[in-house]
C-alpha cells in the first residue's frame, strides 16, 4: 500500500507555523486526500419540544441565514487585506476587531470581565523559531541543518549537547504490540524511532484496519505523543523507505520549518520532546548499520507481527539546535446571548477565525478553513438575536465563540476551556463549524452532504437530534465515517470541539472534508459553494435551536474513543 509522505503528514496536521512577509501575486497550490462514504439514515426522533409553532419559528429564523450575508462577511475576512489571519499578526487582530464589531452591532453582550474590550479574551503566547547555528555530529562527521536534518516543536538544544539515543523500533504501543516493553523507563532519554509501521509481504499495514495505515503509520504525531507520555526528552525519526527523498522533502519543508511556532507561555517553560528528522544517510550512521541490516530487521518484525530484538547500537551524537523566543498576545472573540427560563445553561457555537498567514510571499486566505465556519457563526448569531428581538429568544443562553490559534494546535479553545467565562458544568454542548464551504473528492457530483464528527461520542441524544433536524429540514447526506475510532485522519481530535469533549461536554463537528486547496493559497472565496454552505449553516442552526429550547439538557451517556 502506498504510504503517506511525511510532507503530507506535516501539512495536513497544520504544523506549518507563522512568518509574515509582504504579499505579492498569488499562485495556486494543491494538496490532499480521499476517503469512503457511509451515509447514516436519520431515525425518527420524539423530541421534547412542542411542535408546530416552535418548528415553524426554527424555519423562519433559519431562513435569515443567507448566501448573500455569508458572502458579504467572507469577502471581508478572506480578503488579502487580512493577510491570512495568522495568529498574533496584523490580520488576526483585524479579524478579531471585525467579529467583535459584528457581535456588538447584533446586540450580543461582551462577557469578558476585566478586558479592554469585553468581546475579547486576551492571553499571552510565546512565539519561537529556530535560530542560526544548528548542527548534528556523529563521530567526525558534521551534518547540515535543513539538508541532513531538521526539527519540529519542543525547545531544542540551546548549547551543543551530547545525546545517546535509545533505539525504540517503530515507537508503537498498543494491545498486542509494544516497542517500549523491553526498554524499561525512558524518562529523560532520547529515542531513535523508525517512521512508518510494520507491513506484511503484500505491503499492507499489520496494525491498521483492513490493511489500511493505522495512526502509527499515518502520522508521526501519534508516536511523538506516546514518547512524550513516556517522558522522553527528544525523538529522532528516520525514514528508510526507498521511495522517500529526504533532500527534496527538506527543501520543500524549509519554509514551514523556518516559520515560528506558538505555545502557551507557561507551556513554553516545560520540557516537551523535540522531533528531529534525519536523512537515511545520517540514520545509518547514527544506528551503526547498513541498508541490508535495516531491511532484515523490519522483515523480522513483519514476520513475527511483533517487536523483535534489534542488533543496532546507536552512536553518541552531538546536537545543537537553539531557539529564539518572544512573547505576544492573541485573543478569542466572544458574544453572549442570554436565555430565558434556562439561562444558566449555556450552549456554545464555535469556529476558529485564524489561518496560516503568508508563506513564501503568498497570502493563504483560508476562505474555507475556517472563514466559512466563522461567518456561519456570525449568521447564526444574527438569526438568534433576531428571534430574541421578536420575542422568541432561546431558553438556554448561547455563547458565540470564535477562537484563535486553532491552526497552531487548538490553542484558543484550549485556553477558553481552561479559563472558561461560563462554568463548564453549565455548558451543555459545543457545535463546532470548521470548513463548510467546499466539496471533497468523494462527494463530487453527488447530493448535498456534510461530515458530522463526534456527535455520538458522548451523547447518543445529540446524535439523534441532529439527524432528526436534518431529516425534517435540510435533508442532506450525513456522513459519519470519521466517527470511526480507527480513522487514521483523526479529525475528531483536530478541531476546537475536542477541547470541550475532553471535559465531558457533548460536541458535534460539521465539516466538508479536505480538498486540493487545503492549507494552500488557492483556498479563496471564488471557490466557495455558497448554496451548500448556506444549507450546512442552517443544519447547525436547526440543531442549535432544538438544543436551546428543549425542556431538558441532553444527557451524557457514553464516552467513546
**According to the model, what pLDDT value does residue 360 have?**
86
Q: Across 439-511, where does the E strand assignment appear? A: 449-453, 477-479, 507-511
Q: Across 213-292, where does the E strand assignment appear? A: 234-238, 261-264, 274-278
- For 167, phi then psi, to 5°, come to -75, 125
- For 325, phi then psi, to 5°, come to -125, 150
Tens of pLDDT, residue by residue over 317-349, are 999 999 999 999 999 999 999 999 999 999 999
* Rounded distance between C-alpha atoms, residue 403 and residue 334, angstroms: 8
**According to the model, what pLDDT value does residue 53 have?**
57
- Every domain range in the chain assigned CATH 3.50.30.30: 132-321
**According to the model, what pLDDT value does residue 200 have?**
87
- Every domain range in the chain assigned CATH 3.40.630.10: 63-127+326-549
**According to the model, what pLDDT value does residue 194 have?**
97
3-class SS at 336? strand
Architecture (CATH level 2) of domain 63-127+326-549: 3-Layer(aba) Sandwich (3.40)
Sort 523 into a burial class: Cβ within 10 Å, 0-12 / 13-18 / 19+.
buried
Which among 114, 98, 115 has a CA at the least distance from the CA of 106?
98
Fold of 132-321: Glucose Oxidase; domain 1 (3.50.30)
**According to the model, what pLDDT value does residue 413 have?**
98
Tens of pLDDT, residue by residue over 452-490, are 999 999 999 999 999 999 999 999 999 999 999 888 899
* Rounded distance between C-alpha atoms, residue 432 and residue 511, angstroms: 9
pLDDT beneath 50, residues of the chain: 1-52
Which among 540, 537, 534, 484 has a CA at the least distance from the CA of 508?
540
Instruction: Please check whether residue 492 is in contact with residue 509, taking contact to mean a CB–CB distance below 8 angstroms.
Output: yes
Instruction: Please check whether residue 425 is in contact with residue 498, taking contact to mean a CB–CB distance below 8 angstroms.
Output: no
Amino acid at each position: 500500500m502506498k504510504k503517506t509522505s511525511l510532507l503530507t503528514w506535516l501539512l495536513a496536521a497544520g504544523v506549518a507555523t507563522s512568518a509574515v512577509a509582504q504579499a505579492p501575486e498569488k499562485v495556486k497550490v494543491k494538496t490532499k486526500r480521499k476517503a469512503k462514504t457511509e451515509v447514516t439514515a436519520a431515525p425518527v426522533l420524539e423530541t421534547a419540544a412542542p411542535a408546530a409553532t416552535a418548528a415553524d419559528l426554527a424555519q423562519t429564523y433559519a431562513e435569515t441565514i443567507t448566501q448573500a450575508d455569508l458572502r458579504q462577511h467572507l469577502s471581508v475576512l478572506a480578503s488579502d487585506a487580512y493577510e491570512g489571519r495568522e495568529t498574533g499578526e496584523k490580520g488576526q487582530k483585524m479579524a478579531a476587531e471585525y467579529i467583535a464589531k459584528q457581535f456588538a452591532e447584533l446586540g450580543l453582550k461582551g462577557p469578558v470581565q476585566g478586558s479592554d474590550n469585553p468581546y475579547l479574551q486576551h492571553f499571552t503566547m510565546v512565539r519561537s523559531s529556530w535560530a542560526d547555528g544548528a548542527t548534528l555530529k556523529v563521530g567526525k562527521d558534521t551534518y547540515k541543518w535543513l539538508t541532513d536534518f531538521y526539527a519540529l516543536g519542543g525547545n531544542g538544544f540551546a548549547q551543543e549537547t551530547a545525546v545517546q539515543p535509545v533505539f525504540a523500533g517503530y515507537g508503537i504501543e498498543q494491545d498486542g504490540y509494544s516497542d517500549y516493553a523491553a526498554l524499561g523507563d525512558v524518562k529523560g532519554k532520547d529515542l531513535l524511532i523508525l517512521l512508518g509501521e510494520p507491513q506484511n509481504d503484500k505491503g499492507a499495514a499489520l496494525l491498521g484496519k483492513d490493511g489500511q495505515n493505522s495512526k502509527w503509520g499515518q502520522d508521526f504525531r501519534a508516536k511523538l505523543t506516546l514518547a512524550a507520555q513516556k517522558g522522553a526528552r527528544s525523538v529522532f525519526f528516520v525514514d528508510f523507505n526507498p521511495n522517500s527523498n529526504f533532500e527534496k522533502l527538506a527543501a520543500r519543508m524549509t519554509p514551514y520549518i523556518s516559520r515560528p511556532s506558538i505555545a502557551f507561555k507557561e507551556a513554553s517553560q516545560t520540557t516537551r520532546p523535540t522531533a528531529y528528522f534525519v536523512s537515511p544517510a545520517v540514520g545509518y550512521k547514527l544506528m551503526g548499520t547498513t541498508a541490508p541490516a535495516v531491511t532484515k530487521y523490519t522483515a523480522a518484525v513483519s514476520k513475527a507481527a511483533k517487536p523483535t530484538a534489534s542488533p543496532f547500537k546507536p552512536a553518541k551524537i552531538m546536537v545543537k539546535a537553539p531557539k529564539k523566543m518572544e512573547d505576544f498576545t492573541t485573543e478569542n472573540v466572544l458574544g453572549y446571548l442570554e436565555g430565558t427560563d434556562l439561562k444558566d445553561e449555556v450552549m456554545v457555537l464555535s469556529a476558529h477565525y485564524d489561518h496560516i498567514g503568508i508563506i513564501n510571499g503568498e497570502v493563504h486566505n483560508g476562505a474555507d478553513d475556517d472563514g466559512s465556519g466563522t461567518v456561519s457563526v456570525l449568521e447564526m448569531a444574527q438569526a438568534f438575536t433576531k428571534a430574541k428581538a421578536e420575542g422568541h429568544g432561546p431558553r438556554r443562553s448561547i455563547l458565540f465563540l470564535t477562537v484563535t490559534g486553532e491552526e497552531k494546535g487548538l490553542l484558543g479553545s484550549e485556553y477558553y476551556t481552561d479559563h472558561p467565562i461560563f462554568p463548564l458544568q453549565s455548558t451543555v454542548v459545543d457545535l463546532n463549524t470548521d470548513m463548510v464551504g467546499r466539496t471533497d473528492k468523494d462527494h463530487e457530483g453527488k447530493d448535498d452532504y456534510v461530515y458530522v464528527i463526534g456527535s455520538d461520542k458522548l451523547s447518543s441524544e445529540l446524535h439523534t437530534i441532529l439527524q432528526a433536524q436534518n431529516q425534517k429540514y435540510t435533508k442532506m447526506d450525513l456522513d459519519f465515517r470519521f466517527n470511526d475510532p480507527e480513522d487514521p485522519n483523526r479529525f475528531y481530535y483536530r478541531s476546537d470541539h475536542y477541547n470541550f469533549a475532553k471535559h465531558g461536554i457533548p460536541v458535534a463537528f460539521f465539516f466538508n472534508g479536505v480538498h486540493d486547496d487545503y492549507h494552500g493559497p488557492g483556498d479563496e472565496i471564488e471557490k466557495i459553494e455558497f448554496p451548500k454552505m448556506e444549507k450546512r449553516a442552517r443544519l447547525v442552526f436547526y440543531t442549535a435551536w432544538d438544543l436551546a429550547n428543549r425542556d431538558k439538557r441532553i444527557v451524557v451517556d457514553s464516552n467513546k474513543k
